[in-house]
């Protein structure tokens, strides 16, 4: 099989990875971290020759972002890998971070025809596209990833990965994964947001005290409200009509999906502060829904609740 130049979009050629991994470069187990690897995240995986194909196939569910780095040749690239792993947790499954140490896994870099390091590549439906070729500070990397995720959301690409390390821990403890959420999670994985909302709603109706189902329902509703929304048009509409509660809540939803959780909360707290009556109630209730989507124990939610209380009273 002839490899395609990496600069051209196309399916990744895995032919170079069909031989056993070299003995001199032992790889981490799938989902685990090798010595000296970037910090652990539930949505990051240290890529080895053994799990590379499975990592690429995961892009059929939701985006995979690969970062190619070498701590020995370019320490800055190692920091970029660390930051991407950290951000994968912040984005809560919107993408899976694949961390590729080119020194430990040279065959992967060869198969991908990596021209230089660092290199960050987005993979969707098995097809790669370069994103970044320079190390970026954490905030700039967060902004770049937010823009990518928002663009994908406007195209209807809203799937999420399941936590990797959480699944491994569950298996190690000998506990079965709770099957109650399987139907809703399957629907999300297939991009069927309406069905996911319906499945989560069934769970909440059956047990209103099920906080996990309530959180899933709240997030599914955010995804439902933002399907097909043009991000730039939504922001322009909100900027042009600051008193339009519907416009402000839509942008708050988009901010939440893009990882700007505190910005989403601050926007709606400000709307609550500036409005009264039904409009204030609408903004408050919407904000409470976003709190539920993020999780009531999250420090950002705790701060958001304090700010909301100040705005109300």
114-156 pLDDT, tens per residue?
889 999 999 998 889 899 998 999 999 999 898 888 888 777 7
Provide the whole-model pTM: 0.47
pLDDT tens digits, one per residue of 27-85: 333 333 333 344 456 789 999 988 898 898 888 888 999 999 999 999 999 999 999 99
Pairing of strands 96-101, 44-46: parallel
pLDDT value at 223 more than 70: yes
pLDDT value at 2 more than 60: no
Q: Is 278 helix (H, G, I), strand (E, B) or coil?
A: helix
Domain ranges, ordered by start, for the chain: 15-154, 179-225, 231-312
Task: Report the DSSP beta bridge partners of residue 105.
Answer: none
Task: Report the DSSP beta bridge partners of residue 130.
Answer: 121
Residue 204: what pLDDT?
Answer: 87
Q: Is 191 helix (H, G, I), strand (E, B) or coil?
A: coil
CATH 1.25.40 assigned to 231-312: yes
pLDDT value at 103 more than 90: yes
Residue 267: what pLDDT?
Answer: 95
The kind and range of the H/E element at 141 are helix 138-154
Q: Determine contact, residues 292/311, Cβ cutoff 8 Å.
A: no
Under the phi-then-psi rule, with left for phi > 0, alpha for psi from -120 to 50, and beta for the rest, what region is 120?
Answer: beta
pLDDT tens digits, one per residue of 224-268: 998 888 888 999 999 999 999 999 999 999 988 888 889 999 999
> 115: which residues sit within 8 A by CB, 6+ positions away?
6
In 164-276, which ranges are continuous DSSP H helix? 164-172, 182-189, 193-206, 211-225, 231-240, 245-257, 261-274
Dist. CA 292–CA 305, nearest whole Å? 11
Dist. CA 173–CA 40, nearest whole Å? 19
- Structure tokens of 76? 């800055």
CATH 3.40.30.10 assigned to 15-154: yes
Dist. CA 139–CA 153, nearest whole Å? 21
Q: Is 79 helix (H, G, I), strand (E, B) or coil?
A: helix
pLDDT value at 269 more than 80: yes
Q: Is 251 helix (H, G, I), strand (E, B) or coil?
A: helix
Q: Determine contact, residues 248/268, Cβ cutoff 8 Å.
A: yes
Dist. CA 113–CA 109, nearest whole Å? 6
Pairing of strands 64-69, 119-124: antiparallel
Provide mean pLDDT across the span 169-177: 41
Q: Determine contact, residues 214/204, Cβ cutoff 8 Å.
A: yes
CA-based nearest residue to 234, from 217, 249, 216: 249
């Amino acid at each position: 099989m002839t490899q395609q130049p990496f600069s051209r979009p196309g399916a990744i050629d895995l032919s170079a990875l069909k031989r056993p991994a070299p003995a001199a470069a032992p790889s981490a187990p799938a989902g685990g971290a090798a010595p000296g690897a970037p910090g652990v995240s539930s949505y990051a995986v240290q890529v080895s020759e053994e799990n590379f194909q499975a990592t690429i196939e995961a892009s059929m569910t939701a985006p995979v972002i690969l970062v190619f780095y070498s701590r020995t040749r370019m320490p800055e690239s190692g920091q970029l890998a660390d930051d991407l792993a950290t951000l994968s947790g912040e984005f809560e499954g919107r993408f899976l971070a694949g961390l590729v140490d080119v020194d430990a896994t040279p065959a992967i870099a060869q198969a991908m025809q990596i021209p230089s390091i660092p290199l960050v590549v987005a993979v969707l439906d098995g097809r790669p596209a370069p994103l970044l070729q320079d190390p970026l500070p954490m905030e700039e990397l967060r902004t770049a990833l937010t823009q990518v995720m928002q663009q994908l959301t406007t195209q209807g690409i809203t799937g999420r990965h399941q936590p990797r390390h959480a699944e491994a821990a569950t298996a190690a403890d000998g506990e079965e994964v709770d099957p109650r959420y399987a139907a809703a999670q399957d629907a999300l994985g297939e991009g069927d947001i309406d069905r996911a909302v319906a499945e989560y709603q069934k769970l909440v109706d059956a047990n209103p005290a099920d906080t996990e189902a309530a959180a899933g329902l709240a997030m599914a509703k955010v995804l439902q409200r933002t399907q097909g929304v043009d991000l730039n048009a939504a922001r322009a509409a909100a900027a042009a009509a600051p008193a339009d509660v519907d416009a402000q809540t839509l942008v708050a939803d988009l901010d939440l999906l893009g990882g700007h959780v505190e910005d989403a909360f601050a926007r709606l707290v400000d709307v609550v502060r500036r409005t009264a009556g039904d409009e204030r109630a609408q903004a408050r209730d919407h904000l409470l829904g976003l709190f539920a989507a993020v999780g009531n124990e999250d420090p950002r939610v705790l701060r958001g609740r304090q700010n909301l209380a100040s705005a109300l009273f």
